[in-house]
Amino acid sequence: MEHLRWIRHRWQQVSAADSRQDWTSPANLLPSKSDLDPQDHTGHQLSGKRRTVVARHGPHQAEYHNISKGYQGNGIRTTKYTLLSFIPMNLFQQFHRAANLYFLFLVLLNWVPVVEAFQKEITMIPLAVVLTVIAFKDAMEDYRRYRYDQKINNTITHVHSRRQRRYVERRWAEVCVGDVVRLCCNEIIPADMVLLHSSDPNGICYIETANLDGETNLKQRQVVQDLPQQGSEFTPENFSSRIECENPNNDLRRFRGYMEHPNKVRVGLHSENLLLRSCTVRNTETVTGIVVYAGHETKAMQNNSGPRYKRSKLERRLNVDVLWSVVLLLLMCLTAAVGHGVWMSRLKDPVFMIPDDTDPALAGFYMFWTMIIVLQVLIPVSLYVSIEIVKLGQIYFIQNDLDLYNARLDSGVQCRALNITEDLGQIQYLFSDKTGTLTENRMLFRRCTVAGTEYPHHENARAMEQYEEQCHGPLDNTLTLRSRSSRKSLSCNRSSVSLNTLAAVSDIHSPHDTLRRHAAGAFSSTMECAVVPDVQLQRKLSALSTPLCPPLKHDTAELSHILDFFLALAVCNTVVVSSPSQPRHVVQMPVARTPLRSLEEMKALLQKLSLPRFSLSPSQNTDSPPGLTRRLFSRGRSATFAPYTPNTLSAQPHTPTSTTPSPIPTHTPSPSSTPMPIHRGAWGKDEELADEDSFEEEDDDEEEELLYEAESPDEAALVQAARAYGFTLLGRSPEQLLVVLPSTGPLSVPLLHLLPFDSTRKRMSVVVRHPLTGQVVVYTKGADNVIMELTTALGDDSCSREIMERTQQHLDDYAREGLRTLCVAKRVLDEAEYEPWLKRHAFAETSIENREELLLDSAQRLENNLTLLGATGIVDRLQEEVPETIEALQRAGIKVWVLTGDKQETAINIACACKLLRPTDRLLTANCDSKEACEARLCELQRDISTITERGLSDSSMGVSEGDAVISGFTLVIDGRTLDFALHEDLQKNFLDLTSGCRSVICCRSTPLQKSQVVRLIGDSLGVMTLAIGDGANDVSMIQVADVGVGISGQEGMQAVMSSDFAISRFKHLRKLLLVHGHWCYTRLANMILYFFYKNVMYVNLLFWFQFFSGFSGSTMTNSWVLIFFNLLFTSVPPLLYGVMDKDVSANTLLSLPQLYKAGQNCEAYLPSTFWLTILDAFYQSLICFFIPYCAYAGSDVGLLSFGSPINGSALLIILLHQVIESRTLTWLHAVVLLGSAAFYYTFVLVFSVTCVTCNSPTNLYGVETKLMSEPLYYCVCVLTTVLALLPRVLCRALLNSICPSDLVKAQKLDRSLLEQYWATIHQWKENKLDRQKLKSKHVPQTLSVNADVPHSVDCSQEPISVLS
């Protein structure tokens, strides 16, 4: 179908006669880039680190042809090879491996006549087979990439054609930089484009980046500010602006540049103006953009790095042992060379040799290289290929483990790194994020403090508990739908709810109507953020909302703080508002209606409260009392209220959402012109209205259908909390917010600037013009320690200082309860303060170089001298089975560190809840303000640990009494500032010594950079295996630094997953991933590698021993075909099965006994001593395998090949049975493979013996094998040789396991005993069933009862910990 569509498309192109040359108009003589003023703004000198983009069809044709020559096309090619380059390039890459180069050297060496050992063709077979297998694999992978490239490049999009003056269909590969592209809803973006036009009247569109980073929540993009054409239709021919932007890079979240209009006005370009390739347009009918990056220069292709490859610890050990094998080979060849030289020197005119004048020393030199060829299989050429195959098999079983599957998210474990599976079984240090990793990252508003008064929200907590009980479990039971947005839908809406949009599907008639009504909203990355208002806070707000209530003596300043606090929660965010009934994601601005509460009613209310009235005219002097609303929204300032209008504010520029300043739109409604009846939260009373029924119905529908999507779970919870108190966010556009305040209709809040959150500032701010006062107000929310440092008490106002002190106490209480804390503050700007800042900020936005630094400095200039409004406490519950998982990991010998940005008290509370901090642990804290204090504190804590340890604490399993307490371990808690000091080079040793004595470490207030520094310090300094796990973008650096990086596909997007080696959906899955699959992968691979070394050394030594009886002549007692195929074919498959399927201990036992994991940490399966013992055993078995047949056939007339036949047969049986002894799991598949290998060998040699006469020139193989196998002596020799060769290994293993068994051996015995008990129980049950049937056959009376229970049943799931005593 796709092929037919492509043919139709090409036919349309031919019939239209619109070639690529017709897309552009002839070049004109307009000024080029060099003719323009390069210094339109101070500091904007053009440099070579940027690119210029103009439209292809625009007036700048000459400039376009000059600058577009170096820009890439939009066609992509991810393949490595072409048909012509495949063979040479693939061979070139394969010969980068040292093993392949080694065998290529042997092939070439065998072509030298004086050292030739085998037929030239035979020597090439092993290398040819390995190269062919790998080349076939590479070819299949590259062909899949080729087909994907063709599919992408042939995708159709619509590009504007100058000749036809309309948008025509073009392939993606034909799109170029400067093309104007039009996209419809649900279409994929073909290249990185700057958004020029949107069908949305507000100039915004929405994209879904799931194809790029896995995130399914919608991202908002907006048209470049101040474009001359913003009507209903966009005319590409009239677009004459020029774009200057940075060169292509892989930063998905940054785009720096500016657009210069014909009037020389520059407008800053940001990431909000860029549509990225591979994203999908959503909820917008049409968008138009100009291509700035195409093909491999797009940010999506710049980030396309493919699978991650690391070198595992076991592989590094393997390389060392391969070098030892090379040394062993050289020693054996040197021995043979010396022996041959000595033998030749003592040989005088032998009759069986052709006279040769070669010097014995030179003959020995030649023999050295001949023996290199003969003994070549000592180096396992197929080992590396076998390891790759085994790891693919291990990954298959890991990814198909149902215990690691999350049905709610429909996701399992992902293995993104293909070659470090065995490292999962050797982890010694685990570094974990807290939020979203140990916790749900599903934020629920719990309590708040405003103006120093704490509101505990007890009803909210009780209602949520009852709701959870009614649902019979946690709120995870809410429905989550996966995004199928990759499929095109017929409508302009998304085809399904996004992954991070959660909606309640419970019964609306529940007694908890408030919870269910509020839970109807959908949030990105949250569960239902339902809030039941606090009674005390509700009563205070009711004083303003109900004029008929009795006068209350509330403090005006407190009411001002309350209103500003909730207004900040409603507007200081990036939440996107949507409704299922609307095609677009933005709630449209409503038509003005009669207000539910007029400003006159608010005046009457203030009269009842004995407060000054609104002053709608300028005050006469500065000492007069301020107006009502001004006093409520700007505490401590004496000014007047004047409702702003387009006339009064037309001269005041603003920059919505960080764009170039522009006048406030003339359509911005004033408070008196836009209010409409909207829901009043949980505290308002019904009013008598003319259309009351219809308004109530509409209000309920709107409230139930209002959906919130936020990139941060905190934002969604806070917006929902504000909504519960009547501060409802109804809609968002680039220039304004639509917010309902208590007792008013919707008010338009002009959005001047949005300063987004970043990890450096740890806060975000919005600059708005207040909807009632018209003042410029900065609302800021962020980490409590940051906001507290930026807040100041107003002069000598003791009340402000008291509020800050009480708020700090409440924050400490929240942290001790394990709540996430966040502070809210504001700052009111005078126009004299705002205008200079606006100029600097506009310059920073239009800068290309150092834009981030300039914007950071601009934000910090604004975010100071803040007035503290209050703080919130948000609960983030632990994921299921986190305590059990951490306890199991610690019992496995893994030291668990938690690196979090939360407060110290919050981290300690979570550590206690997840059993990271036990009641018997000694808590050590390090909070220092200077480097000297940090050094002293580290030394002091180290002395404390040493003192207590000397008194009897030797490890975490022992305890020592200190007073009335028993200490079983130490846990260090260190804050970010102290950690920064500790990471200095001169304090690193003290820090490492201190943490080595601690069972766990908690790093609070840590930054992403500190996280990565800690992981690198521990891994490099202590030489241990590290694992880092996280779920957010702030964990990416830590994940990439660790030996094994694990990402959680949680609520903070997919950045961590995209950077990880393994991805899981829940923290609890880490338990089985490490303790079971990690142990199995390491044990299997280690034993398989040792087995490879064993079988190669064992077989090669047979050839070496024969040299002592053949004058070290390089002769062999077997034909060269069997010699080459023995390791390549006959014994190659059983090790693969061994490496993929062997299970030394069952999964249940490994989970029940986490201490078994220590075997992998200590590398017990593959130690240097283990390697050399394996080599010695191979030497012994080769001696037995050679000399038993030698003694049996001594004095007989058997030929050379007849002597080698029982040796080969015995060697095959010994090697196969050796694997049977080493295997812990034997199934029918093992039997098939082992018997099949033996049958394959004997079939090959028999067929070879009866069909081949000249295959092994100059010797004759005809009839050798058939004659020997007809004699009983052959079988006696094979059986005796096999028994004597394997007997010592069996006896030593039995003796060792009986006298001093290891923990693994005990666990294996436990598995067998449980299995025997299980089958005994089954057998007993069957016997009882048979007895009952016999009784029934004898017509047992109805009064006779037969007990069908097993008399002595055995609990197969009993706790086996006591076995390892």
Catalytic residues: 433
What backbone torsions phi and psi does residue 1306 show, to the nearest 5 degrees? Answer: -60, -40
Q: What is the largest CA-CA distance in the chain?
A: 134
DSSP 411: B
The alpha carbons of the chain give a radius of gyration, in whole angstroms, of: 39
Instruction: Tell me the C-alpha distance between 1258 and 189, whole Å.
Output: 69
For 211, the enclosing helix (H) or strand (E) is helix 210-213
Grouping H, G, I as helix, E, B as strand and the rest as coil, residue 1002 is: strand
Backbone φ/ψ region at 507: left (φ over 0), alpha (ψ -120 to 50), beta: beta
Beta strands in 490-556 (DSSP E): 501-503, 523-524
The closest of 477, 503, 606, 76 to 302, measured between CA atoms, is 76
| 791 and 867 Cβ atoms separated by less than 8 Å | yes
Instruction: Tell me the C-alpha distance between 1364 and 1153, whole Å.
Output: 9
Residues 6+ apart with CB under 8 A from 209: 215, 219, 276, 279
Instruction: Tell me the C-alpha distance between 171 and 327, whole Å.
Output: 59
Residues 6+ apart with CB under 8 A from 646: 664, 666, 668
Instruction: Tell me the C-alpha distance between 1230 and 1324, whole Å.
Output: 30
Instruction: Tell me the C-alpha distance between 530 and 508, whole Å.
Output: 14
Which residues face 108 on adjacent strands?
Answer: none
Instruction: Tell me the C-alpha distance between 785 and 808, whole Å.
Output: 9
Distances (CA, A) of 686 to 536, 671, 678, 699: 20, 22, 11, 12
Q: At what angle do helices 1168-1192 and 1272-1299 cross, to 10 degrees?
A: 150
Instruction: Tell me the C-alpha distance between 1163 and 1024, whole Å.
Output: 12
Grouping H, G, I as helix, E, B as strand and the rest as coil, residue 1045 is: strand
CB pairs under 8 A, 24+ apart, for 1148-1152? 1148/1357, 1149/1307, 1149/1310, 1149/1311, 1149/1360, 1150/1075, 1150/1076, 1150/1079, 1150/1307, 1151/888, 1151/1071, 1151/1072, 1151/1075, 1151/1076, 1152/1359, 1152/1360, 1152/1361
- Only one residue has tokens 């002293």, namely 936
Please give the structure tokens belonging to residue 1113. 């002549």
| 168 and 184 Cβ atoms separated by less than 8 Å | no
Amino acid at 506: S
Amino acid at 502: L
Instruction: Tell me the C-alpha distance between 868 and 881, whole Å.
Output: 39
SS (HEC) of 1318-1363:
HHHHHHHHHHHHHHHHHHHHCCCCCCCCCCCCCCCCCCCCCCCHHH
Instruction: Tell me the C-alpha distance between 766 and 826, whole Å.
Output: 10
DSSP 164: T
Could you give the count of Cα atoms lying within 13 Å of 1279 in the half-sphere of its Cβ?
A: 5
Grouping H, G, I as helix, E, B as strand and the rest as coil, residue 419 is: coil
